[in-house]
Structure 1
């Protein structure tokens, strides 16, 4: 199949509505249907594929997303790099609502999600020691700074199953571990990109303080309404950042992620 796109973005309708000459593409995968059709258009001379991970009307909760189909669709379209923004809560006081965090690590606290392409008989053990692409992370950091947005250059994102938020006890535990961000979608999305050797970067849009800080009486408990309110406020800012990044991502750039499978296959 001839590549239809070079760069992939997981996001909502606020992104692809700004594209010129949008083409809607339905992609069939061995893992079922992706979350939606893929919108392909041009940004700064680059072909970009946009896929809303929750569906364009946000009808798919995080624990029901077909992550394998979404990532396989990007691969089928020829995508060579993925930008993966997400709404997220803060676990630390210095990470404030409105800030952006360019995560460098994640902690998986999900369960029951199909999280690998390698189910036998060929066995691969792909190391996610450094799951996010350093090249894309640096481009993201520089672009966020250029737009005057407060940015945290590193951060660990703990991924919970959802759709519920954390209890105060759970959230206080996550905070005590020193983790900065909490979200429901980065795993297995980021790991599956690694299994396909596609460089990926996460930008966490901080919408709220998680409930552990509530126990000390400093902030209100998180609600879905507040999360979406702040997320929509951030939509224009993240759009500008992503479009700026697209222009600066080098074609066919070298990344350690592209070598994720080099020594992963088990041979006897």
Structure 2
């Protein structure tokens, strides 16, 4: 029943936030007027209220209204009543920490699996994998668990960056880090480049957008898949 968009980022270079996903979001939220927003990934420096106002201004452009989960005295009940859900970006450690501490991991998982339209960007996409262990974020808090929603049967690495051949930087590349992950973990990892997203609908997982994605599997060489490819058998 899942009906989700798992996007690498909210904003691509030279574009307004979520503008590249406009038609996709109109389709995702066709029968939804009010979307429940989960702002927990945003670290201090901008309040949940401010974050929500900014997101609401974006969604007004497609005639949708945003209401944030932090405004409800009972966030679990808010999830049960939601007609559409959006989890924004920020820090994945903070997001996962707050979801666990508010008792929302299972209710959110159940809501998405029941077919409620869901959009995740950046950190909100990270949590759709089996664990958050392939996030790029710094561990600014220590969540109770690294296990996440398991909406897809693999891990996600949003904002995937290819090595720059002209760079003099000698540190680890994103690919190196994911290979380190596979020294101790078996699940595949999908490297989602900016402007790419996964569509999860009626049991099918499809790569969307104009770019390829890089797939990492334990004990295999990484490989590319084209937009339109199915990832339904990747696990």
TM-score bracket for the superposition, by shorter chain length = 0.3 to 0.5
TM-score (norm 1): 0.30
Q: Which has the larger radius of gyration?
A: 1
Structure with the larger RCO, 1 or 2 (CA within 8 Å, 6+ apart) = 1
TM-score (norm 2): 0.33
